[in-house]
């Protein structure tokens, strides 16, 4: 461990868990624009802060979300996804009635990849590259 600042320390553990997540709106509708996009970003930040997670990179394209998050490794990845997608779906559909036209805001599916094979910096660069527009 060359740089202790990048590791989370608890009473019994020292380590770092990061995951790259991608998910899409139902029917891949291009609804993540304007005020919806701004509000989604705030909701995701609030969830991360509340859970003690760190968003390392975030890109919200009109039809998908990329998120690189450092999370507590005692939490399962599906619970990380559930926290972000569940809260954002509920709040966005309450605040933006036009989203109620979709049967659900998000599909049930999502992509995840732990960042062991590729460095977090590489994934951050990919997410921050404006190639998705």
Question: Is 110 designated active site?
Answer: no
Point out the catalytic residue in the list 7, 110, 112, 126: 126
Cβ–Cβ contacts within 10 Å for residue 63, how many?
15
The radius of gyration of the chain's CA atoms, rounded to the nearest angstrom, is 15
For residues 25 and 37, what is the distance between their CA atoms, to the nearest angstrom? 12
Instruction: List active site positions.
Output: 126
């Amino acid at each position: 461990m060359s740089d202790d600042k990048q590791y989370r320390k608890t009473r019994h553990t020292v380590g770092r868990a990061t995951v790259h997540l991608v998910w899409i709106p139902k029917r891949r509708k291009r609804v993540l624009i304007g005020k919806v996009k701004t509000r989604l970003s705030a909701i995701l930040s609030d969830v991360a802060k509340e859970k003690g997670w760190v968003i390392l990179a975030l890109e919200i394209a009109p039809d998908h979300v990329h998120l690189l998050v450092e999370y507590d490794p005692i939490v399962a990845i599906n619970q990380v996804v559930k926290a972000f997608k569940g809260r954002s779906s509920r709040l966005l559909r309450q605040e933006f009635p036009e989203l109620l036209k979709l049967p659900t805001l998000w599909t049930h599916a999502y992509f995840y990849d732990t960042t062991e094979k590729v460095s977090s910096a590489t994934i951050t660069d990919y997410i921050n590259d404006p190639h998705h527009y």
